[in-house]
Amino acid sequence: MTALKVLKLPPERPNTHPLFNTYDNSKPLILNLPSLLYALAWVRLLITYPGDLKMLLPAIIIFGAQIGYIGPLAYSYSLNYPINNPAVIIDKLRSDLLAKWV
């Protein structure tokens, strides 16, 4: 009898819910994709991942990414880790490594 390893999923990251459109499904499908990104494989890999990434990434692969911004100038405050405090980033990376999320 083999034991099944139960994986603990990482917490949902804030970038899995973008506040803007990442793809346009009214555009034609990208049929001759010169990439090794296979949408169905990513669907299978991300099926249990929290957030919208499991739907966003395959759609970006199929329709292409919308890059850039068209609209009014706006101020956006990010709650990401401060890059001017390396200790915060090092501690977070260390904890993610210990949890085998990286």
Q: What is the count of structural domains for the chain?
A: 1
- Answer whether residue 5 shows pLDDT above 70: no
* Percent of the chain clearing pLDDT 70 (strictly above): 78
Residue 76 falls within a domain, yes or no? no
Q: Check residue 15 and give left, alpha or beta (phi > 0: left; psi -120 to 50: alpha).
A: alpha
Domain that holds residue 60: 10-17+31-67+81-102
3-state secondary structure the chain: CCCCCCCCCCCCCHHHCCCCCCCCCCCCCCCCCCCCCCHHHHHHHHCCCCCCHHHHHHHHHHHCCCCCCCCCCCCCCCCCCCCCCHHHHHHHHHHHHHCCCC
Cα atoms in the 13 Å half-sphere on the side-chain side of 65: 7
Give pTM, 2 decimals.
0.54
Residue 22 falls within a domain, yes or no? no
Residue 25 falls within a domain, yes or no? no
Q: What's the rounded mean pLDDT across residues 5-33? A: 77
**What pLDDT is recorded for position 100?**
80
